[in-house]
Amino acid sequence: MSNDMNRDIERVLISEEQMKEIVAGLGSKITEDYKDKQLLMVSVLKGSLVFMADLMREIKIHCEIDFMSISSYKGLKTTGVVKIAKDLDLPLEGYDVLVVEDILDSGITLNYILKLLRSRNPKSIKICTLLDKPDNREVEIKADYFGAVIPDEFVVGYGLDYNEKYRNLPYLGTLKPSAIKGE
């Protein structure tokens, strides 16, 4: 079996260079919008880790970060059940919270997260997602900031995975059918 992940990619949807441009644009907008606020960026692990790391370097104001680990996927499909594996360490009161997600897909997970975080009385709460997949939405939810709208396809790279693989690709792509085993 080859270890060259690139061979498993059917097509590249967003190149590494395009990713950099998207993240820089989002960072600039967030910097402007939060310049007089107490920004707390909440990364939803594991998928948003790469995006969060790059995004926070593009934000040119003071900010704090925290992490949640949530799961609702197995293989290619959402299970519809949201599990919290790691909760936040910081209290949210007084913060302007920006939830940083890799992809807004069905909306089920993000809707759950928002309800939970709102109950903790942040000053404000907004959503920043790298990818928006509106064709698959099951819950009425919109991102305040989004990098790109993508079609209803399963994607990997730039933090997004297929069974914990392909996260470290610097671009976003779709998998060849031969790379998807038993789905």
Percent of the chain with pLDDT over 70: 92
Q: Return the active site residues.
A: 105
- Residue 3 confidence (pLDDT): 59
Mind listing the pLDDT tens digit for each residue in 19-55? 999 999 999 999 999 999 999 999 988 889 999 999 9
Please report the domains of the chain, with CATH numbers, ordered by start residue.
5-179 (3.40.50.2020)
Which residues contact residue 119 at a Cβ distance below 8 angstroms, ignoring those fewer than 6 apart? Answer: none
> Backbone dihedral region of 69: left (phi > 0), alpha (psi from -120 to 50 degrees) or beta?
beta
The Cα–Cα gap between 94 and 103 comes to 27
pTM of the model: 0.89
DSSP 3-state of 146: strand
- Average per-residue pLDDT for the chain: 91
Mind listing the pLDDT tens digit for each residue in 104-127? 988 888 998 999 999 999 999 999
